[in-house]
Amino acid sequence: MNPTEATQPVTLTPAAAQEVLSMLQTQSENQGKPLRIYIEKGGCSGMQYGLLFDEIREGDQAWTAHGVDLVMDRISAEVLEGSLVDYSDDLNQGGFKLTNPNAKRSCGCGKSFEM
């Protein structure tokens, strides 16, 4: 399935897209692979976010944002609906950050949450 822009479960900011594209240029083993955004059990709040270059799997939602191919499994897409993935190269709080409007509580690091 290729959702339209209006049905993309997660929004990728231009800064995040630029960092992903930069990573793809330096990591030849990941070229041609979409970025998977997912959730899994773990972290200090019970669930944590994950990003990795991966293959498209059956049942995934797939879309492109700012030149980056993205995929998500159905469960992650439901939990992360309306979320924003951003990137900052700030020295103290740098890296990818996912803001999830569906989380009841998030930890201070921004990498885990409670539903």
Tell me: pLDDT of 110 over 90: no
Beta sheet of 105-106, edge-to-edge order: 61-65, 68-72, 35-41, 47-53, 112-114, 105-106
Please report which helix (H) or strand (E) contains residue 37, including its range. Answer: strand 35-41
Looking at residue 1, its pLDDT comes to 39
Residue 40: which domain range? 5-114
Report pTM.
0.81
Q: What is the CATH number of the domain that holds 71?
A: 2.60.300.12
Structural domain count, the chain? 1
36-91 pLDDT, tens per residue? 999 988 655 577 889 999 999 999 999 999 999 999 999 999 999 999 999 988 87
Mean pLDDT of the chain: 84
Length of the chain: 115
Angstrom distance (rounded) from CA 95 to CA 86:
8
Residues near 96 by beta carbon (within 8 Å), at least 6 away in sequence: 16, 19, 51, 85, 86, 87
96-105 pLDDT, tens per residue? 988 888 877 5
Looking at residue 49, its pLDDT comes to 87
